A and B are shown apart, each in its own frame.
Chain A
């Protein structure tokens, strides 16, 4: 960090952001289809633990990541089944699962605490990694970083350029209309909550096998799931803005670590909680933009108005409401 502070700083922002991007895009897919998976904080932790355990026992990254994805998908399936088919509050199921999965992770992961396990190393892309400045930031990263970066355009393309993506968004906006058009909203919602959950699981695996390697109590990613949920709102359910939110958060987190070195008297935990008030502030600001008065004030400020227009985002209209085919 001493030689190339800026390069190292930006590279670590990217590495910190990557798993978060994977998780937030997973949740964006889920919520865009009209379901809330509130279990993220627990899912991330449990899939991180399972991925580490499998990676440790088999020595295989592929199996580790697969185990993480399956764990995340299974938890999401529970949320979907309870919420969509059993008519329970999606938020209630998600919250209960988030607490339970966290404790389950600590319980099952106890024997794997503080063990030296497999850890992904940076993967230099030949040629590109030699580019001065950008090379070390963009092309000398562990695999999940590339995964996260590629996922952003992929999700955007799926949402806005494919007919299945159109169906996905329609289910989240108006499930009744979809039903009359012959699409079963509940099957779509189950499909997308499982896909979203699998991505959350991959993000968990990316933490324990690469970005924050290892397992312990605490692992260090506690609370990130809640941040991820907030980032989805912050990003207005739009994949690109959600990813930008994840970058912003990662930047704040890395800055926190840097500042910690400067103000050594303040305990680390105070810096760790810094993103939360900022998150609230950001959510308030975004909401303020919806007010008529603010919009009128913006009218004669074209530059600002354009920016604000880009920031605004409305939730999928059927979000969290269970559809009943009657």
Chain B
């Protein structure tokens, strides 16, 4: 199958990446010309806005952390054949869980213990929210896309209710969120670092663990069988429902952890837009990665850079910052186009 690519699979992936980048660059340039903006200027702003200085790189990494966590979690769900579109709400629930624990312990003398508990609560609540979607799918017969999506909106309603109701700031409740937590309840970082090296290390550790679980452990192999080979499931006597539930549970736990880190490490309070859409964006990351784990950290870095780089577009060029979302979507569509033509050629060769 790989005769035309001397370097085998890697060569094919590199060719694909190159093709995708060309299509996206041409598309984005045409779009910018259409609205009368200079493509070179826009691309320069995107690059300088994301990698132009250390503080900007730190901001990119701060987006990379939750985005990668959500995407890695999604790989588990996809392996079992589930579309966990509810990852967005699971992240929100994680944020609620962490914020709840941190609020309770404002007076306590063990900040580190409390932070660990907060992250744990975040992961647990995220997992519970995911389990709910999985349960609705398996027992209620509601397709996981609609169950997940419905729960996303419920999660957002819940955050707003908390911020304007029980957890409102003394005095006036507002969209700016809850009262910030005291400094000793912030997720630890190092002096002078704008992104916590501990959070980065945690994410890298979880990526490595996932690589091992998915490719080397019995659980990972069974999971793959459940998602992609219904016959093997019968043959080995696996319970596909159980594997689906475990997969979506892990997916939700990682998303919940991402939400907890946003609360304790980035915003230091609960805000209405706590998920920043990283759950939905994570779905695009995983699709662009062809549902594989290895490319995810790099694609997530690229997407995070686009998100951060586009922030200055409104100020510098009077363009809407949603350009980053257009580029991200264009990446996925071009990828599907390239995969699609490869599919056509294979079919043509098979005939």
Would you give the 0/1 interface string for A279-301, flagging 1 where the beta carbon is closer than 8 Å to chain B? 11001100110100000000000
Q: Is A13 an interface residue (CB 8 A)?
A: no
Q: Shortest beta-carbon distance, A188 to chain B, in Å?
A: 20
Q: Shortest beta-carbon distance, A123 to chain B, in Å?
A: 34
Measured CB to CB, the nearest residue on chain A to B152 is: A276
Q: Are B329 and A266 in contact (CB under 8 A)?
A: no
Known A-B contacts A86-B337, A266-B161; A100 and B141 likewise in contact (beta carbons under 8 Å): no
CB contact between A273 and one of B31, B35, B156 (< 8 Å): that residue: B156
Q: Is B296 an interface residue (CB 8 A)?
A: no
Measured CB to CB, the nearest residue on chain B to A101 is: B329
Measured CB to CB, the nearest residue on chain B to A291 is: B141
CB contact between B287 and one of A92, A101, A270 (< 8 Å): that residue: A92
Q: Are A276 and B150 in contact (CB under 8 A)?
A: yes
CB contact between B340 and one of A88, A96, A230, A233 (< 8 Å): that residue: A88
Q: Is B41 an interface residue (CB 8 A)?
A: no
Q: Are B153 and A102 in contact (CB under 8 A)?
A: no
Q: Shortest beta-carbon distance, B11 to chain A, in Å?
A: 22
Chain A residues with Cβ below 8 Å from B329 are: 96-97, 99-101, 103-104
Q: Shortest beta-carbon distance, A175 to chain B, in Å?
A: 17
Q: Is A187 an interface residue (CB 8 A)?
A: no
Task: Say what secondary structure dominates the interface of chain B.
Answer: helix
Q: Are A102 and B339 in contact (CB under 8 A)?
A: no
Measured CB to CB, the nearest residue on chain A to B344 is: A86
Q: Shortest beta-carbon distance, B150 to chain A, in Å?
A: 4
Q: Are A91 and B320 in contact (CB under 8 A)?
A: no
Q: How far is the CA of A38 from the CA of B148 in the complex (A)?
A: 14
Q: Is B26 an interface residue (CB 8 A)?
A: no
Known A-B contacts A97-B333, A217-B320; A280 and B150 likewise in contact (beta carbons under 8 Å): yes
Measured CB to CB, the nearest residue on chain B to A286 is: B141
Q: Is A2 an interface residue (CB 8 A)?
A: no
Task: Say what secondary structure dominates the interface of chain A.
Answer: helix
Known A-B contacts A86-B341, A87-B344, A93-B333; A267 and B164 likewise in contact (beta carbons under 8 Å): yes
B-contacting 9-mer, from A4-12, A105-113, A235-243: A105-113
Q: Are B150 and A279 in contact (CB under 8 A)?
A: yes
Measured CB to CB, the nearest residue on chain B to A104 is: B326
Chain B residues with Cβ below 8 Å from A78 are: 333
Q: Shortest beta-carbon distance, B155 to chain A, in Å?
A: 9
Measured CB to CB, the nearest residue on chain A to B157 is: A273
Q: How far is the CA of A103 from the CA of B323 in the complex (A)?
A: 7
Interface centre among A104, A223, A324 (most CB of B within 10 A): A104
Number of B residues whose C-beta is below 8 Å from A?
50
Chain A, 34-66, CB within 8 A of any chain B CB: 38
Q: Are A226 and B337 in contact (CB under 8 A)?
A: no
Q: Shortest beta-carbon distance, A44 to chain B, in Å?
A: 15
Q: Are A107 and B147 in contact (CB under 8 A)?
A: no
Interface centre among B164, B272, B330, B333 (most CB of A within 10 A): B333
Q: Is B136 an interface residue (CB 8 A)?
A: yes
Q: Shortest beta-carbon distance, A249 to chain B, in Å?
A: 13
Q: Is A146 an interface residue (CB 8 A)?
A: no
Q: Are A103 and B150 in contact (CB under 8 A)?
A: no
Interface centre among B35, B146, B343 (most CB of A within 10 A): B146
Q: Are B336 and A92 in contact (CB under 8 A)?
A: yes
Chain B, 232-278, CB within 8 A of any chain A CB: 272
Known A-B contacts A97-B333, A104-B326, A283-B140; A266 and B164 likewise in contact (beta carbons under 8 Å): yes
Q: How far is the CA of A277 from the CA of B280 in the complex (A)?
A: 20
Chain B residues with Cβ below 8 Å from A283 are: 140-143, 146-147
CB contact between B141 and one of A93, A106, A229, A290 (< 8 Å): that residue: A290
Q: Are A269 and B325 in contact (CB under 8 A)?
A: no
Q: Are B333 and A96 in contact (CB under 8 A)?
A: yes
Q: Shortest beta-carbon distance, B167 to chain A, in Å?
A: 13
CB contact between B153 and one of A91, A267, A273 (< 8 Å): that residue: A273
Q: Is B119 an interface residue (CB 8 A)?
A: no
Q: Shortest beta-carbon distance, A264 to chain B, in Å?
A: 11
Known A-B contacts A88-B340, A276-B154, A290-B141; A110 and B319 likewise in contact (beta carbons under 8 Å): yes
Sample of 8 A–B contacts (CB below 8 Å): A82-B337, A86-B337, A93-B336, A103-B326, A107-B325, A269-B272, A280-B140, A284-B142
Q: Which residues of B contact A (CB under 8 A)?
A: 31, 35, 83, 85, 136, 140-143, 145-147, 149-151, 153-154, 156-157, 160-161, 164-165, 272, 280-281, 283-284, 287, 318-320, 322-326, 328-330, 332-333, 336-337, 339-341, 343-344, 347
Q: Which residues of A contact B (CB under 8 A)?
A: 38, 78, 82, 85-88, 91-93, 95-97, 99-104, 106-111, 217, 223, 226, 229-230, 233, 265-267, 269-270, 272-274, 276-277, 279-280, 283-284, 287-288, 290, 324
Q: Top 5 nearest A-B pairs by Cβ distance?
A: A100-B329, A86-B340, A103-B325, A287-B141, A273-B157
